[in-house]
Amino acid sequence: MRTHCVLAFVAAAVFSAAATAQGEHARRLAAELVVMAGDVRRVASGSESALHGEGLRERLAGALSSLPLLMRRAGADPAAVPALRAVLARQDWHALDIGLRALQRKHPFEPATILPAQATPERLRLGEAIHKQACAGCHDDQRKSLRDAPATATKLPAFNLFEQAKKLPRAEFAARLLIGVRGDRSTAWRNPFSDLELGALLAYYQKAGYE
Ligand code: HEC
């Protein structure tokens, strides 16, 4: 009887680990689609500098190259991707937006586990600690240069995360955090943070100002 219980427990644990792993691919795909759609809006708005527009176009091209793999991992059919690449090559932002929206409807992003219900003092402290330790080195320089002069010298600058958190829809900022720390796509390391830690960062960036 006892052994049965233990086995049942182990089976349940293995099953849920597998379910989580599969869910993680689906979630990453959904988040990537949100980020891509956001980048399309940024480019299409025409408010970005020419250099930054170029960086975003390159990032979109990179995202579209890895999208089929991401989709297969999530158990989705990548048949729609080649058409999206053609549309990007034409820089038809409206058509790309429509194509990405169609994919987003099939793969909706659920940010609930990241979005903090409340910005408790503990969460804010955790967010601040992670930021100072792991992010400020790059994203703080940008904070200074943003105030002095808009950074136009890099294709994809390390944005001011405090501003991004307040400017972007929460779900989009959560997706950008999830897709994560990627100073450079070619070295892209997987996001090493838990949902709790991402939620703490999100709460901190939203709450804290920059002096
Ligand atoms: C080594 C420098 C470096 C570090 C450290 C770093 N970043 Fe970044 N980050 C960048 C650069 C450069 C970009 C812009 C390039 C890009 O988006 O691919 C970026 C982009 C981002 C983006 C995406 C912005 C967008 O437009 O989608 C987010 C979100 C982000 N970083 C969050 C973080 C967080 C949170 C940390 C700490 C846990 C962190 N970064 C640490 C350099 C860094």
- 53-82 pLDDT, tens digit per residue, is 999 999 999 999 999 999 999 999 999 999
C-alpha distance from residue 50 to each of 59, 141, 156, 205 (Å): 14, 22, 11, 27
Summarize pLDDT for 177-204 with one digit per residue, the tens: 988 764 444 444 455 788 888 999 999 9
pLDDT higher than threshold 50 for residue 14: no
pLDDT higher than threshold 70 for residue 26: yes
Report CA(92)–ligand 1 centroid distance (Å): 27
Nearest to 127, CA basis, from 17, 208, 15, 21: 208
Summarize pLDDT for 106-120 with one digit per residue, the tens: 999 999 888 887 889
What CA–CA distance (Å, rounded) separates 154 from 47? 16
pLDDT value at residue 12: 41
CB of 62 within 6 A of ligand 1: the answer is: no
Exposure string for 109-141, b = 16+ CB within 10 A, e = fewer: bebeebbbeebeeebbebbbebbeeebeeebbe
Residue % of the chain over a pLDDT of 90: 52
Q: Which two tokens stand for residue 54?
A: 């170029």
pLDDT value at residue 190: 52
Q: Which two tokens stand for residue 28?
A: 């990453």
Count of other CB atoms within 10 angstroms of residue 42: 17
Summarize pLDDT for 31-55 with one digit per residue, the tens: 999 999 999 999 999 888 889 899 9
What CA–CA distance (Å, rounded) separates 55 from 31? 20
CB of 181 within 6 A of ligand 1: the answer is: yes
CB of 200 within 6 A of ligand 1: the answer is: no
